[in-house]
A and B are shown apart, each in its own frame.
Chain A
Amino acid sequence: MAEVVFFLAALGALAGAVGTVALRNPFYSVLALVGHLISLALLFLLLRAEFVAAAQVVVYAGAVMVLYMFVVAYVGGTDIQVGPLNSRTTTAGAILFGLVLFIELTIAILGTGLKALGTEGVGIGADGVARAGDAGFGTPEQIGELLLTKFLLPFELASFLLLIAAVGAVTLARRRGGLGDPSGSTITPLDLLRPRHTGTMAEGVGGSRRITSQEQEQEGVEAGVTSVRPDDEGKE
């Protein structure tokens, strides 16, 4: 049973990964990555990491991928592939690079002669039945206890990192083109002395006087709120 689930989930994860890389439209790439993440959560469940699997589905496949969706929809979903640099040789070189990397990783991981690699891990016998002491491995209870005792400092640092990233993203994606936009953010002393609509179209067509009178009228209304009859004061 575990073997069947493993091969199904592994096939799903690999198909999702290939789809993410190979699909032309970034929108479909994001969808393939969602499928990949859900298959990976299944693999985590097989490895008895229940909390990480739940976090994977909720945080990754839920929140982060929705963020990706929004940005893909905002920027535009078409991947323009022009130019000489992305030729067939580059693609072939990248595939070759991936193959070499895979072979190297396989040698590095499986060729090290780690004793427990061939087994199913601690706490589970060859028949796959959980032994005593295996209960509570990777449950939210145990993860929470570890996070708040042994790994308290990394936990707090992670919260700081998230805060910094959120502030940085807001700064980068601000209204006018991100960092270093001098035109909108500096105020000279002359700007304070001039009327507010200097250089606008209203000034060009002679509407500046009307705007000034309207502003004065509004100020009169706001000042008159505290009095008994604000309307009369505004008309006068």
Chain B
Amino acid sequence: MAIEWYLVVSALIFSIGAGGVMTRRNPLVILLCLELMLNSANLALIAFSRMHGNADGQIFAIMVMVVAACEVCIGLGVIVALYRRRLPIDVDELRELQG
């Protein structure tokens, strides 16, 4: 398979994720859509790594996975804190994060 196909799939997944971030209102689902976008970037990185025959892109993808895990960790912590304070789990209601 040519590398182009992987890049097209990656661009499609990124666009779907970006659309999801804009439409959904549940912060959990917004985090899931962010994961989609990060994963599409990973796919592009690994495709380029294959293109150059160099494993540096794969290291970059692993770093992206580490940062995504941290982001999930903090995001879910914020959501649990919101739930504990009986705040609505809805980004439209949470326009000001005043605690």
Contacts and interface: CB of A to CB of B under 8 A. Distances in A.
Interface residues of A, number: 95
B69 A98 contact: no
A78 to B, nearest CB: 9
Contacts, number: 253
A3 B19 contact: no
A100 B90 CA distance: 27
Interface in A108-156: 109-110, 114, 116-123, 134, 137-138, 142-143, 146-147, 150-151, 154
A206 interface: no
Interface of A: 2-3, 6, 10, 13-14, 17-18, 20-21, 26, 29-30, 33, 36-37, 40, 43-44, 46-49, 51-52, 55-56, 59-60, 63-64, 67-68, 71-72, 74-76, 79-81, 83, 85-86, 90-91, 93-95, 97-99, 101-102, 105-106, 109-110, 114, 116-123, 134, 137-138, 142-143, 146-147, 150-151, 154, 158, 161-162, 164-166, 168-174, 176-180
Interface of B: 1-9, 11-20, 22-26, 28-29, 31-33, 35-36, 39, 42-44, 46-47, 49-56, 58-59, 61-63, 65-74, 76-81, 83-85, 89-90, 92, 99
